[in-house]
A and B are shown apart, each in its own frame.
Chain A
Amino acid sequence: DQQVKQNSPSLSVQEGRISILNCDYTNSMFDYFLWYKKYPAEGPTFLISISSIKDKNEDGRFTVFLNKSAKHLSLHIVPSQPGDSAVYFCAASDSGGGADGLTFGKGTHLIIQP
């Protein structure tokens, strides 16, 4: 049972344009969401997060939007750069404690084309 779903296995975007990665979740107990970026042969690295008390969080070129009623979040990258080519994982957790771990989606492979 996938509690966090990333329905697009891959996404190709032209350099300079906006990349939009989507994520849906089913567990209504989730109230904290994170995006991780992963290069081949490396571990995931934290990118940006959002608490359920917000609907938007921005950090430089990266913005995460949260729609609680739709149980949907998205990551916007603008402008997209070649170094953004990677696999992006959406992750979620409830705030019951730091030891609960994260529930990850399957990832979306973002390819930035020159």
Chain B
Amino acid sequence: DTAVSQTPKYLVTQMGNDKSIKCEQNLGHDTMYWYKQDSKKFLKIMFSYNNKELIINETVPNRFSPKSPDKAHLNLHINSLELGDSAVYFCASSPWSVGPKLPEAFFGQGTRLTVV
């Protein structure tokens, strides 16, 4: 059973379109994340959700919006896609934790988005 699964794995779309990437985790984790790996291979956090509440938003354009229908899902909606949005997007989840030990995050397999 896949712990963190995201669909689709590949997505090719035209500029200006609106698209969604879905993410589901079956680990019972409280916190889910979206990361973007850009052309320079940097993995950067975009959003995190804890108990359906947005915790952080790292200067991501408002064309990107996370939607969490329940604790096990965090979908990423992107409006008016631009060429620069082409990247690999990773969903991740982790248990909620405060204190000296930060639990590791579990990642999905990634969605390669290509905007043409």
Q: Among A36, A42, A49, which residue has its beta carbon within 8 angstroms of that of B110?
A: A42
Q: How many residues of B contact A (CB 8 A)?
A: 37
* A114 cross-chain contacts in B, Cβ below 8 A: none
> A: which residues have CB within 8 A of B?
31-32, 34, 36, 41-46, 49, 51, 53, 89, 91, 93, 95-104, 106-107
Q: Among A36, A44, A89, A95, which residue has its beta carbon within 8 angstroms of that of B102?
A: A95
Chain B interface secondary structure, helix, strand, loop or mixed? loop
- With A31-B100, A101-B33 known as contacts, the answer to whether A89 contacts B106 (CB < 8 A) is no
* B56 cross-chain contacts in A, Cβ below 8 A: 99-101
Sample of 5 further A-B pairs with CB below 8 A, known A98-B94, A100-B48, A104-B44: A31-B100, A95-B101, A99-B31, A101-B45, A106-B40
Are B105 and A102 touching (Cβ within 8 A)?
Answer: yes
Nearest-neighbour CB distance to chain B for A92, whole angstroms, equals: 10
Are A101 and B107 touching (Cβ within 8 A)?
Answer: no
Q: Among A41, A42, A95, A102, which residue has its beta carbon within 8 angstroms of that of B45?
A: A102
The closest CB in chain B to the CB of A102 belongs to: B105
Are A41 and B41 touching (Cβ within 8 A)?
Answer: no
Nearest-neighbour CB distance to chain A for B67, whole angstroms, equals: 17
